[in-house]
């Protein structure tokens, strides 16, 4: 609208004021708000605070910004010169309109359809190259291709949203349909105004722009909220599965380090010919059953004496090993000075020693087993298990589930384990917490 008026100043002052408010001030404010929104979204995407869901809204908002450049013709002539080239971005805006409509309708849809985005980028670059010959060629390209294609896309998205809302009952599509109608109203108004079909009603442009911003913003917030809700539900399921896996691993570890030790000794005794082995087998079987009950039952958290617990372990396991099979030297009297600790820590230390005994007797087939304890001047207690006369430990190549489980138990109670190979066996040291 021109700022040149013919007629009495007093009678035309109202129209001049409306022109300034509606056409310049309001559109300039909306244009600035659109730029601010896009800059915030792009910044958040660059910082990783938003995912690919924001790309389609950014394309839509950028298209609105480009469409509002005309209001700054007098203030920024360079924008007007660049406007025909900027309009080619509408190919990406068309992609954003289609993609965002699919995203709000079906959350499982990928946030970006890469083949479609690739086509939009190719069209965008091709239009720039084709129209780069002259400004006139660029304007004709936009007039006969870019804008008609954009109009067809808006009609297509509007029809698709109409169908999804009225036939499929999708509320988000209903809101998006309102935005598409606002775009069509804005485009129709501008076209009618430029062709002289109407001379007033420019406020429709502002209403249409505001409607698109509100609809797209509301839908994007809805998409983000739904995505976060779905993510929270998935995290809850994952946490539940992780807890179940940890519980299963704990039972597996207890069975491996506890019951397996008894079964190994039972296997050794079953190979002995004397009838006295039958009594030992019966006792060990009963101990194994008790171990299963302990694993499956609930252990109360209380303080226990480590020396007593390891003494019980010796009676249940070591004392039943035939002397002709393994010579055992058990000396843990130093641990009488070790303070009481929680039953959970006692169980972890006991499991470590059980696994060490199993590895020495069954895997290494040792002939001599020495279990001892020492105490330093700094009150640091250490348990040492040395086996010899069998197979040499070959380091990490033999580090299976049992050894890794020992390390895990040690870390859990802040203990330190060192396993050193020697000729015909290995030395395991446990620095108690």
Secondary structure of the chain as H, E, C letters: CCCCCCCCHHHHHHHHHHHHHHHHHHHHHHHHHHHHHHHHHHHHHHCCCCCHHHHHHHHHHHHHHHHCHHHHCCCCHHHHHHHHHHHHHHHHHHHHHHHHHHHHHCCCCCCCCHHHHHHHHHHHHHHHHHHCCCHHHHHHHHHHHHHHHHHHHHHHHHHHHHHHHHCCCCHHHHHHHHHHHHHHHHHHHHHHHHCCCCCCCCHHHHHHHHHHHHHHHHHHHHHHHHHHHHHHHHHHHHHHHHHHHHHHHHHHHHHHHHHHHHHHHHHHHHCCCCCHHHHHHHHHHHHHHHHHHHHHCCCCCCEECHHHHHHHHHHHCHHHCCCCCCEEEEECHHHHHCCCEEHHHHHHHHHHHHHHHHHHHHHCCCCEEEEEEEECCCCCEEEEEEEECCCCCCHHHHCCHHHHHHHHHHHHCCCEEEEEEECCEEEEEEECC
Both tokens of residue 5? 């008026």
Both tokens of residue 433? 């917490």
CA nearest to 415, candidates 350, 331, 320, 330: 350
Q: Is the dihedral of CA 36, 154, 175, 59 positive or negative?
A: negative
Q: What is the CATH code for 301-433?
A: 3.30.565.10
The predicted structure's pLDDT at residue 429: 92
In this structure, the number of other CB atoms found within 10 A of the CB of residue 231 comes to 10
Location of structure tokens 């130093």: 334
From the CA atom positions of the chain, what is the Rg in Å?
Answer: 40
**Where, residue-wise, is CATH 3.30.565.10 in the chain?**
301-433
- Do the Cβ atoms of 100 and 56 come closer than 8 Å? yes
Q: What are phi and psi of 339, to 5 degrees?
A: -65, 160
**Where, residue-wise, is CATH 1.20.1070 in the chain?**
9-238
The predicted structure's pLDDT at residue 2: 45
The predicted structure's pLDDT at residue 419: 87
Which residues lie below 8 Å from residue 356, measured CB to CB, with a gap of 6+?
A: 385, 406, 428
Where on the phi/psi map is residue 322: left (φ > 0), alpha (ψ -120 to 50), or beta? beta
The predicted structure's pLDDT at residue 156: 93
Q: Is the dihedral of CA 96, 98, 104, 106 positive or negative?
A: negative
- Do the Cβ atoms of 81 and 138 come closer than 8 Å? no
The predicted structure's pLDDT at residue 311: 81
Residues of the chain with confidence (pLDDT) below 70: 1-35, 37-38, 41, 44-45, 47-51, 68, 70-77, 190-208, 224, 227-228, 244-302, 316-317, 319-324, 395-401
- Do the Cβ atoms of 116 and 99 come closer than 8 Å? yes
- Do the Cβ atoms of 123 and 137 come closer than 8 Å? no
Largest CA distance in the chain: 130
Which residues lie below 8 Å from residue 4, measured CB to CB, with a gap of 6+?
A: none
The predicted structure's pLDDT at residue 159: 93
Cα–chain center distance at 75: 48
Domain covering 9-238 assigned CATH 1.20.1070 in the classification: yes
- Do the Cβ atoms of 326 and 367 come closer than 8 Å? yes
């Amino acid at each position: 609208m021109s700022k040149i008026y013919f007629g009495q100043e007093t009678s035309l002052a109202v129209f001049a004021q409306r022109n300034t408010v509606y056409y310049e001030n309001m559109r300039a404010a909306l244009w600035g708000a659109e730029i601010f929104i896009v800059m915030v979204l792009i910044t958040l995407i660059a910082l990783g605070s938003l995912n690919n869901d924001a790309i389609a809204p950014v394309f839509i908002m950028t298209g609105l910004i480009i469409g509002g450049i005309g209001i700054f013709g007098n203030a920024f002539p360079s924008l007007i010169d660049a406007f025909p080239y900027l309009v080619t971005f509408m190919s990406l805006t068309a992609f954003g309109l289609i993609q965002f409509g699919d995203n709000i309708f079906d959350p499982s849809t990928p946030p970006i359809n890469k083949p479609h985005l690739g086509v939009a980028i190719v069209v965008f670059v091709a239009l720039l190259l084709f129209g780069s010959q002259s400004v006139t060629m660029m304007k004709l390209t936009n007039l006969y291709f870019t804008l008609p294609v954009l109009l067809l896309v808006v009609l297509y998205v509007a029809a698709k949203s109409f169908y999804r809302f009225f036939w499929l009952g999708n509320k988000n599509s209903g809101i998006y349909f309102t935005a598409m109608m606002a775009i069509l109203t804005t485009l129709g108004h501008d076209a009618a105004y430029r062709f002289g079909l109407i001379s007033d009603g420019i406020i429709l442009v502002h209403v249409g722009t505001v409607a698109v911003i509100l609809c797209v913003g509301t839908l994007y917030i809805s998409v983000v909220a739904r995505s976060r809700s779905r993510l929270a539900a998935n995290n809850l399921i994952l946490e539940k599965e992780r807890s179940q896996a940890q519980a299963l691993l704990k039972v597996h570890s207890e069975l491996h380090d506890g019951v397996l030790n008894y079964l190994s000794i039972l296997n050794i005794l079953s190979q002995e010919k004397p009838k006295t082995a039958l009594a030992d087998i019966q006792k060990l079987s009963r101990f194994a059953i008790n171990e299963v009950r302990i694993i499956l039952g609930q252990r109360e958290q209380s303080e226990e004496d480590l020396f007593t617990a390891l003494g019980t372990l010796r009676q249940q396991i070591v004392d039943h090993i035939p002397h002709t099979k393994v010579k055992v030297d058990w000396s843990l009297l130093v641990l009488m000075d070790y303070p009481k600790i929680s039953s959970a820590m006692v169980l972890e230390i006991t499991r470590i020693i059980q696994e060490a005994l199993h590895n020495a007797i069954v895997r290494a087939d040792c002939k001599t087993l020495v279990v001892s304890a020492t105490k330093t001047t700094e009150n640091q207690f250490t348990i040492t298990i040395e086996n010899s006369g069998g197979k040499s430990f070959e380091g990490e190549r033999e580090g299976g589930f049992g050894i890794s489980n020992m390390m895990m138990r040690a870390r859990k109670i802040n203990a330190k384990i060192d396993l050193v190979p020697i000729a015909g066996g290995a030395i395991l040291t446990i620095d108690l917490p």
